[in-house]
Amino acid sequence: MEYKVQIKISQEDIDFVEKVMAITDETDERWEDYQDLKDCTVERYTGKFEDGHFADVSICSGQSNFFIDPVLFNKEGHQVCVLECAEDLLGEYEFEDNGNTYILKLVKEDIELLDKNIITE
C-alpha cells in the first residue's frame, strides 16, 4: 500500500535552511552565528500516515555543519527506515517498510492575499 502526506513549509523556514546548509565547515565565518546550535536538532517536520507510521525530516547540526535527516517510524515509535541525508528540504521523501511505501512531500507554503478587495491602478 502507498501512503502520502504533504507538509507546507514557510518561506522563512526555507530561507533559514538554505542559509545554514550553505555552511561548509567550522572555517566558514557564518558558522560563528550558529555555534550554539552545535550537535542538536534545530527543526523537525513530522508527517503522520493513516496506518500510524510517521516520518520526521529533521534539520540537524553536527560539529561544524548542518544536514537534513529523513527517518520513518512505525506507530510504536521505532525507527524503521532511514534515508541518506538530503541536500534540499523541499521535495519528496520516499520510505519503505513491510511492503508499504510512505511518501512525505515538503512543499513551499502558498501565501494568499488576506484582503482580496485591494484595488491596484
Q: Which three cell numbers stand for residue 95?
A: 520510505
- One digit per residue, the tens of pLDDT, for the chain of length 121 reads 999 999 999 999 999 999 999 987 778 888 788 878 788 999 999 999 999 999 999 999 988 889 999 999 999 999 999 999 999 999 999 999 999 999 999 999 987 644 555 544 4
Count of domains observed in the chain? 1
Q: What is the pTM of this model?
A: 0.85
Domain region containing 58: 2-108
* Residue 114 placed within a domain: no
* Residue 29 placed within a domain: yes
Q: How far is CA 103 from CA 3, 13, 18, in A?
A: 6, 21, 22
Helices (H) and strands (E) in the chain — how many of each? 1, 7
* Residue 98 placed within a domain: yes
